[in-house]
Homo-oligomer: A and B are copies of this chain.
Amino acid sequence: MTENTPAFDFAVSIDCVLFGFDGAELKILLIERNEEPFKDWWALPGNLVGKDESVDQSAQRILKELTGLSDIYMEQYYAFGDVDRHPQGRVISVAYYAMLRLGGDKPLKPLTSYAKKAQWVNVANLPKLGFDHQHILNKGLEKIKRRIKHLPLAFELLPEKFTLTQVQSVYELILGKKLDKRNFRKKILSFKVLKELEEKQRGVSFRAATLYKFDKRKYNKLFGKEISF
């Protein structure tokens, strides 16, 4: 049995895995660090939890500091607590993920003092990350693969109005496999949480697709139901 020497000399940090979809690629928000340790390395946006904020509040604050965004659907998924995961002391990191729609209007204003810049990076083409962040990210990816089967996640990634083909792309990117178009549409529509709009896509070459909207009210009614692709 190991010796147990508890003490109030731990720190707790948050790391955020922010997934973004720009209509074509699945991306992750990374920062380039400007402070030791791992100065000049890419890393997940994260920071230490303050004394007077809950872990959840802290996650919201950090997300806001790094992106300017608030009221984002964000979920805790794991606490990483290896002894040597942080070179400067005993830091337990609580990881959260969030999904964001990218491009268009929403300006990304990250940049806190310790980051040189923040950038969306294609998840299929990542640089080497500091700390155990590659591990944290992998675990986040596994998580959303499972979670996207419970529906509403995908719509966090999409713009307010979207086409069914875009929804399918999100599923295909996250699950890492191709899906049948007709079956996908049949199924996603069978949940009756999408509202077909009168409107069509604009500014595209070739035939424009019909736009849809996610109907949160209807979604809440079938909470818990599963889909599997």
Residues of A85-115 whose CB lies within 8 A of B:
89-90, 92, 94
Taken together, the copies of this chain in the complex come to: 2
Q: A76-B79, A94-B79 are in contact. Are A61 and B4 (CB under 8 A)?
A: yes
A119 at the interface (CB under 8 A from B): no
A201 at the interface (CB under 8 A from B): no
Q: A1-B64, A226-B228 are in contact. Are A8 and B89 (CB under 8 A)?
A: yes
A81 at the interface (CB under 8 A from B): yes
Contacting pair B2 A52 (CB below 8 A)? yes
Report which residue of A2, A9, A80, A228 has the largest number of chain B beta carbons within 10 angstroms of its beta carbon.
A2
Tell me which of A16-24, A42-50, A185-193 binds B: A42-50
Contacting pair B50 A5 (CB below 8 A)? yes
A55 at the interface (CB under 8 A from B): yes
Q: A10-B11, A55-B79, A79-B55 are in contact. Are A4 and B50 (CB under 8 A)?
A: yes
A198 at the interface (CB under 8 A from B): no
Contact residues of A with B, CB < 8 Å? 1-13, 47-58, 61, 64-65, 76, 78-83, 89-90, 92, 94, 226, 228
